[in-house]
Chain A
Amino acid sequence: MKIGNRLGKLLILSLLGFSIACMPSAATAENAQESVVEQVIQRGVLRVGMSTFVPWAMKDKTGKLIGFEIDVATRLAEDMGVNVEFVPTKWSGIIPALLTGKFDVIIGGMGILPSRNLKVNFTDPYDYTGMSIVASKKMSEGMKGIEAFNKTGITIAARLGSTAVTATKKYMPNAEIRLFDDEAQAYQEVINGRVHAVVGSAPTPAFQAIKYPEQLFLPIDGTFTREPIGFAVRKGDVDTLNYFNNWISYVSAEGWLKERKTYWFETKEWESQLQ
């Protein structure tokens, strides 16, 4: 009886603690009435969520962020007349971080997926990317084309929560997928010959194949998917969505987006800044 009583009290106390903890989250709904663009102008800072992903966003050797997305976000903030603040976030937790207001927008090469779109709003695509595959010479000697990898007993590595996983499940449903938090670890697996191949956004698989010619090869030329890339914002914010959409059509009409994309994806001039 006595023990039961103590346990009961403990339970009530812990429930109380949790309800106090959950209460303030109701306050966020009220804050959301003002559009994100308005809040950014007032604050003077655009907070951008991103994750390291060569060559979209990465830190150079001085610790400064560089990359295609960094250029895009910096120009966006410049055009809004505010400062930009990057919030490096783990890819697997980037959508919850956006939803709980840790930053205003995700500009991080995020592919527009129907399943993601149920949780966030996307702008019009400002870029297209595709999935490409690089395979281990030791494990998958002589395999050509995507179909060759669609077999049981084949293991594919990919980055957790990325569209590479979706693409692999769709095009190679019979293969087993191993997930890694960072791309570098996935590529390390294929270089060590522990998985048959890695699926990742172009152009990194091709770059890796050039870097490790003895261990890696490209089973297909180019990419096997084509994915639209957009900014992700919290749902229901028409003002912000409209601003971003028009900004995207403005800079792409200028030819600026294309020029930046060529610089980051087709040249390797930036590589000396990294190491």
Chain B
Amino acid sequence: MNKKKKKVTAKDLILLSGIGLLAVWLIYQANAQTQYKWNWQVIPQYLLRFDEPSQRWVPGLILQGVFVTLRLSVWATVLALIIGTGMGLARISCGPLRRMMGASYVEIIRNIPVLVWIFIFYYFIGDRLLPGVGIDRILRESQGFTATLCSLLIAEPSRLSVFVSGTVALGVYEGAYITEIIRAGIQSIDKGQWEASSGLGFTRRQQLRFIIFPQALRRVMPPLAGQFISTIKDSAIVSVISIQELTFQGQELMAATFLTFEVWLTILAIYFLLCLFCSLFVERFELFLKKNAHPV
């Protein structure tokens, strides 16, 4: 490491003030061109409000949307990880059929626009999933504990069907990218590692599990983190199939109150905080992996 004290040079200052001036000018221009009556004081009640009848603080519309976005992102990520790991392993396996399956999956999903994919999935595939298994009816009629648990972890029974199709569509979509990340991570490990472990008498499965995967994990963490954050942001797209997540709630609110900019800016800030929190967490996790790595 270079131990020279880092000094702020004149060039840095000029650059910084230039950027600052540009930002101020842009904000000024935006303000001058848009005649808009700002009305920020009504926004907090859509985040959190005091419910008179029950004498409790309850989440407002926007915060309810945040919860749906979180549930959606978490489930989609879990699904994408499962699919991605499975398909990633299939892509590097020795069997040609498995390799072809992995390749077809990645190529089909990666070469269609996510918006179109979500529409197609929702209208043609999505709502056959749950009724096909029969869970739909059971949950709709369920009451008490099952219903509460379901609405806490997934979605209210009445919205379950559309929520599941949104989550699966998103999970399958993100899974294609995770497949490639996993494949690249495993393939980036030096061939010598495979050969050495094979020489030590490990089976292929053991090689992968004890030698290759732990090393690959550290390499795939940064791109995986990017993909997780991407999932949170992409979850906004499912608003088109009327899942009541953050963007959808915001748009509904705008349609009802005409507070276009206040609502968009609030939503922007919430997405930013969610993603920032996520990336900070992953940074920590990477450090943890580095510390706990066994010296080879």
Residues in A lying within 8 Å of B, measured CB to CB: 6, 9-10, 13-14, 17, 21-22, 24-25, 27, 43, 45, 51-54, 58-59, 61-63, 85, 87-90, 93, 96-97, 100-102, 181-185, 187-188, 191-193, 208, 211-212, 214-215, 274-275
Return chain A residues, CB-CB under 8 Å to B119.
Answer: 93
Q: Which of A22, A43, A52, A85 contacts B256 (CB 8 A)?
A: A52
- CB B264 to nearest CB in A, in angstroms, measures 10
In contact, B242 and A90 (Cβ under 8 angstroms): yes
B67 within 8 A of A: no
In contact, B100 and A13 (Cβ under 8 angstroms): yes
B220 within 8 A of A: no
* Assembly CA distance A93 to B258 (angstroms): 21
Return chain B residues, CB-CB under 8 Å to A212.
Answer: 35, 37
User: A13 and B257 in contact (CB under 8 A), knowing A192-B35, A275-B42?
Assistant: no
In contact, A90 and B100 (Cβ under 8 angstroms): no
Return chain A residues, CB-CB under 8 Å to B258.
Answer: 54, 184, 187-188, 208, 211
In contact, B242 and A52 (Cβ under 8 angstroms): no
User: A63 and B60 in contact (CB under 8 A), knowing A10-B104, A58-B255?
Assistant: yes
In contact, A192 and B257 (Cβ under 8 angstroms): no
In contact, B108 and A14 (Cβ under 8 angstroms): yes
B28 within 8 A of A: no
In contact, A10 and B100 (Cβ under 8 angstroms): yes
User: A52 and B252 in contact (CB under 8 A), knowing A22-B124, A88-B242, A90-B242?
Assistant: yes
User: A89 and B252 in contact (CB under 8 A), knowing A24-B128, A59-B61?
Assistant: no
Task: Count chain A CB atoms within 10 A of each CB in B45, B244, B257, B258 and give the residue with the most.
Answer: B258
28 intermolecular pairs with C-beta atoms under 8 Å apart: A10-B104, A13-B100, A13-B104, A21-B124, A43-B140, A45-B158, A51-B255, A52-B255, A53-B255, A58-B256, A61-B49, A62-B51, A85-B158, A88-B242, A93-B241, A100-B124, A102-B127, A181-B251, A182-B251, A182-B254, A184-B255, A184-B257, A184-B259, A185-B254, A192-B35, A212-B37, A214-B35, A275-B39
Q: Which of A27, A101, A183, A192 contacts B36 (CB 8 A)?
A: A192
Return chain A residues, CB-CB under 8 Å to B215.
Answer: none
User: A100 and B127 in contact (CB under 8 A), knowing A54-B255, A88-B244?
Assistant: yes
In contact, A54 and B242 (Cβ under 8 angstroms): no
Q: A13-B101, A61-B45, A184-B258 are in contact. List 13 more A-B contacts (CB 8 A).
A: A6-B100, A59-B61, A61-B61, A88-B248, A90-B242, A93-B119, A93-B240, A93-B241, A182-B254, A184-B259, A188-B258, A192-B34, A275-B42
User: A182 and B101 in contact (CB under 8 A), knowing A63-B61, A89-B242?
Assistant: no
B213 within 8 A of A: no
User: A88 and B123 in contact (CB under 8 A), knowing A192-B36, A275-B257?
Assistant: no
User: A10 and B107 in contact (CB under 8 A), knowing A52-B255, A89-B242?
Assistant: yes
In contact, B35 and A61 (Cβ under 8 angstroms): no
Return chain A residues, CB-CB under 8 Å to B36.
Answer: 188, 191-192
Return chain B residues, CB-CB under 8 Å to A192.
Answer: 33-36
- CB B161 to nearest CB in A, in angstroms, measures 8
Return chain B residues, CB-CB under 8 Å to A211.
Answer: 258
In contact, B254 and A184 (Cβ under 8 angstroms): yes
User: A61 and B128 in contact (CB under 8 A), knowing A52-B255, A187-B258?
Assistant: no
User: A101 and B35 in contact (CB under 8 A), knowing A52-B255, A62-B49, A184-B258?
Assistant: no
* Assembly CA distance A45 to B157 (angstroms): 13
- CB B217 to nearest CB in A, in angstroms, measures 30
In contact, A10 and B103 (Cβ under 8 angstroms): yes
In contact, A59 and B124 (Cβ under 8 angstroms): no
In contact, A24 and B132 (Cβ under 8 angstroms): yes
* Assembly CA distance A58 to B255 (angstroms): 8
Chain B residue nearest to A193 in the complex (CB):
B35
* Assembly CA distance A208 to B258 (angstroms): 9
Q: Name the 7 nearest CB pairs between A and B, nearest first.
A: A58-B256, A52-B255, A24-B128, A184-B254, A89-B242, A13-B104, A275-B42
